[in-house]
Structure 1
Amino acid sequence: MRKKIMIFNVPAQELGALTILNNAYKAALDDHNDYIFIISGDYLKKADNIDVVSLPWVKKSWFHRLFFDYFISIRLIKKYEADEVISYQNMTVRAPKNIKQKVYLHNAIPFTDINFSVKKETKLWIYKKIISKKILHSLKKADQIIVQTNWMKSSVLKKINSIDSDQVVVENTSELISNLIGKDHKYIADGFINKYIYPAAPFVYKNHLEIVEACKQLTEQEKKKVKIVFTFEGNESENAKKIKQEIIQNNLPIFLIGKITPKEVQQYYLTHQLLFSSKLETLGLPLLEAQMFNTPIVYRKSVLFDEVTNSYSNEKSYRTIVALKKILIKF
């Protein structure tokens, strides 16, 4: 029986979230059901079995988002007569009680012990102290929770005792990304310079400063052999400004190129190794994407990232800044 499935993903705007959105779109194109995507930007096109509703006003403020969550989502479900809802917003949406809901969980903040500064990281502090509670409460109502790793499934089950193991499904993200990217292009090393890219917004937990500190330990001669690309401009936040200042003051081989598209990131994987220093993820999508190009990976050691790179041989991990510095010039 052909169903109408409504997918909510209005927050998607960063690289990782957009990749997840594109994965969902690709899967919908190949499915026999009808889909309605509720988003907030011009990211997707309508197709034979896909309708797209773009609501850019949702991102104007917290008030607009709350208004959407409490009043608009349920109206859209009724208007399009959806049979099922899949929320990519880390929590269920307000919907009629008879509607089955799946939640795609891709935010680890509610499950981490990392704390954020109310002054320097206000949005993340609000997310951890307020929105996280809403997410945890909401997940109890979901018919199914979709996660990206076994590590994340374990974290959910430990945090929410009322959820059964069968309710939490680990998605085969690697297969989805492989289908999305294809296998026609592969990484080609530069014989003279070690080139790296770290495709991440300048949030504190993304840990760019660890890379900065490693580069500060390079000699002037070693700096000439390393080139690192960060995908932000340096004025987005206090943390971004601090990173930019450190780069300029210490004449570091780090280049701020601004925000780029997922396709542009993939082009970098052909010539740049992936550098990944994040402290907090539910998956670490770049780790999977880079593997599709056979791109060398350097990552901060963790149980989660070990799982994601488990079957990949072209990688190295580090625990300390000194170890990272050595890898940068020798990989």
Structure 2
Amino acid sequence: MRFVVNATALRTSGALTILKQFINRASYTKHDYIIFVSNDVKLEQKSKNITLKEVAPKNWFGRIFWDFYAFNKEILSLGVSVDKVISLQNTTVNVNLPQIIYLHQSIPFSNIKFSIKSYCEFKLFLYKKFYMFFIFAFLKDDTKFFVQTNWMKNELCTKTRINEEKVFIANPDILLPQFYCENFVSDSNKKKIYISSDISPL
């Protein structure tokens, strides 16, 4: 299978760790991955099944344009068949393909109140009030989610009424979970998640 991965916002700190872990796990699979990343992130492309596509760093408005329009245009310009899209940066994207979303931004689901008048809290206020829209802007029946905690899964299912069978837990202290590409099956002993036969990472 061929996956296109949206990871242009994973540039620093924990987000960059997620990207590096993903690339490491993907390199051991039989699937092909085309991963869109920011050109200010230094990554090594060692595996033949991984292609890195660099794009310019994006501010908030640039990212909205990318998710809503430019990302799909880039996929179409590849000239190859694509089976699924993986978003490692919380938000669904405007594509006519099944999506797998790694949702690791918990602020929109929290009960904490942030002040619009506080400089330190203003960005958090925006995440709290508006980011939920972008997470689910292109949600479809076949969209799957991976989250980091049981709390996050419960909040996601409760506040959005997404079926819990479409939400899976990927503990942040281990390498990203593995999955196949058809029917999800939980392997509780290994604390990973699988889907049918050839393994690929989330």
TM-score range, shorter chain: 0.7 to 0.9
- 1:122 is matched with 122
Distance 1:33 1:140 in 2: 24
- 1:48 is matched with 48
- For 2:34, give the aligned amino acid: I
- 1:292 is matched with none
* Structure 1 gap ranges (5+): 178-331
- 2:70 is matched with 72
* Other structure's SS at 1:92 match: coil
Equivalences for residues 82-231 of structure 1 within 5 A? 82-96=82-96, 99-119=97-117, 120=119, 121-139=121-139, 143-161=143-161, 163-176=162-175
- For 1:104, give the aligned amino acid: Y
Q: Which structure has more helix as a fraction of its residues? A: 1
Distance 2:110 2:138 in 1: 18
RCO higher in structure (CA 8 A, sep ≥6):
2
Cα pair distance change 1:56/1:75, threshold 3 Å: same
Cα pair distance change 1:18/1:68, threshold 3 Å: same
- For 2:85, give the aligned amino acid: V
Q: 1:123 deviation in Å?
A: 2.1
- 1:266 is matched with none
Q: 1:42 deviation in Å?
A: 2.5
TM-score (norm 2): 0.76
- 1:22 is matched with 20
User: How many residues were matched structurally?
Assistant: 170
TM-score (norm 1): 0.48
Provide, for residues 181-237 of structure 1, a one-character-per-residue CA deviation record: whole Å limited to 9, x for no partner. Answer: xxxxxxxxxxxxxxxxxxxxxxxxxxxxxxxxxxxxxxxxxxxxxxxxxxxxxxxxx
Distance 2:55 2:157 in 1: 34
Cα pair distance change 1:71/1:140, threshold 3 Å: closer
Asked if the contact 2:92/2:136 (under 8 Å) is kept, the reply is no
Q: Percent identity?
A: 36
Q: Which structure has more strand as a fraction of its residues? A: 2
* Other structure's SS at 2:174 match: helix
- 1:281 is matched with none
- For 1:144, give the aligned amino acid: K
Distance 2:141 2:7 in 1: 18
- For 2:83, give the aligned amino acid: D
- The CA RMSD over aligned residues, in Å, is 2.0
